[in-house]
Structure 1
Amino acid sequence: MNKFSANDVSKSVAEWSKHQQITMIGGEILVETRSHSSWGGAVTATMYLPVVRSHVWQQVTDYPRWVQYFPDVTKSEVLHRGEAKRLYQAAKKAFLFFTAQVEVYLNVIEVVQQQIQFRLERGTFVDFAADLSLQDCQGGTLLTYAVQATPNIPIPTMFIQQAMQLELPANMRKMRQVICGS
């Protein structure tokens, strides 16, 4: 698996164009897809939250609450607490003619109020990695969520990337709604 970090794919606030900053502060979610593997996809989404970083951090590290952020996630529980956490998540996704059920056991590393790294320990993916990073921005917080994954069932990359590109922004809007209480 490639070395992966949201820092590699996210930009600092200073690197965003003025138009992109205004667009994000106005509620848009910026999405960038990239190739990952022959059966996988990778996507990065960035959004502005009109709340301080410490509040966002408190919300996103409440892992059982992730079922509220991502409607397809049916279970999210912390299996081990400590310096390195272990997390179990299960999800159910309906595709055209079938429903896929996935589960992952993740190793979670937190850099307080800056970044969360999720790395696959085992599960129904060939590979899975995600990074969530937080940056201060105009009295609020920029949240960047970068994911790369290859399912263990052969689905063409084009379909994986398209699903990620459509669904991640919807999930991020839901996350913003829950975090901001609106």
Structure 2
Amino acid sequence: MMTLVRESALMQGEILLKTKPHSAWGGAVTAQMYLPIAPTLVWEQVTDYPRWTQYFPEVTRSEVRQVISQRTKRIYQAASKAFLIFTAQVEITLNVLETHQQRVQFFLESGSFSDFTADLQLQSYAEGTILTYAVQATPTIPVPSFLIEQAIRLDLPVNLRQMRSVICAGK
């Protein structure tokens, strides 16, 4: 159930975030945003995995490596993130499970994380869609969880605004 304050904030374009610790070196976040287009149109774009490089500027490669079934894929992503005084290069192979026009679940197969899961859900709302993106990850490089949470809190809203801009322009 959404409160009036949360509904108003989403409808005005705000990105709502909840962060929490996840392991000693990891972080977890749930973000929500409203897109003023139908879930079917949002679905077409969020499941176009090569397009994720347009949504998230730090993602330098995103490709489908294997279509296992109509609902299951294996994708590869690479990213580069400037973090404090160094730049981290990460690579990840994910198993992706799609529930048509509702949900995309990402599960770690291999990569630069000791654990990683993400869950993207679409919900019809008003004249558009509420996109909820929850992710939890622990990088293999030991970085204190509070720094990861802070980076997520700063970067994710910017990335999701970019995602919304690209998705809405492509409708």
Q: TM-score range by the shorter chain?
A: over 0.9
Residue from 118, 126, 131 that aligns with 2:119: 131
Deviations 1:34-61 (A, max 9, x none): 1110000000100000000000000000
Counterpart residue number, 1:158? 146
Counterpart residue number, 1:92? 80
Counterpart residue number, 2:60? 74
Counterpart residue number, 1:107? 95
For 2:118, give the aligned amino acid.
A
RMSD: 0.9
Q: Which runs of 4+ in 1 moved over 4 A?
A: none
SS in 2 for 1:64: helix
Residue from 116, 127, 131 that aligns with 2:104: 116
Q: CA deviation at 1:151?
A: 0.4
Deviations 1:127-168 (A, max 9, x none): 010000000100100000001000001100000011011111
Q: TM-score, normalised by structure 2?
A: 0.96
For 1:90, give the aligned amino acid.
A
Counterpart residue number, 1:46? 32
Q: TM-score, normalised by structure 1?
A: 0.91
* Percent of aligned pairs sharing the same letter: 59
Counterpart residue number, 2:42? 56
Which moves more between the two structures, 81-90 or 125-134? Answer: 81-90
* Distance in 1 (alpha carbons) for counterparts of 2:72 and 2:126: 32
Counterpart residue number, 1:4? none
Counterpart residue number, 2:7? 21
* Distance in 1 (alpha carbons) for counterparts of 2:10 and 2:18: 14
Q: CA deviation at 1:22?
A: 1.1
Counterpart residue number, 2:51? 65
Identify, as 1 or 2, the structure richer in strand. 2
Q: CA deviation at 1:97?
A: 1.2
Q: CA deviation at 1:84?
A: 1.5
SS in 1 for 2:163: helix
* Distance in 1 (alpha carbons) for counterparts of 2:91 and 2:102: 26
Is 1:178 aligned to 2:166, yes or no?
A: yes
For 2:112, give the aligned amino acid.
T
* Distance in 2 (alpha carbons) for counterparts of 1:115 and 1:93: 27
Unpaired runs of at least 5, structure 2? none
**Number of equivalences:** 168
Unpaired runs of at least 5, structure 1? 1-14
* Distance in 2 (alpha carbons) for counterparts of 1:150 and 1:35: 10
* Distance in 2 (alpha carbons) for counterparts of 1:105 and 1:67: 15
Q: CA deviation at 1:19?
A: 1.4
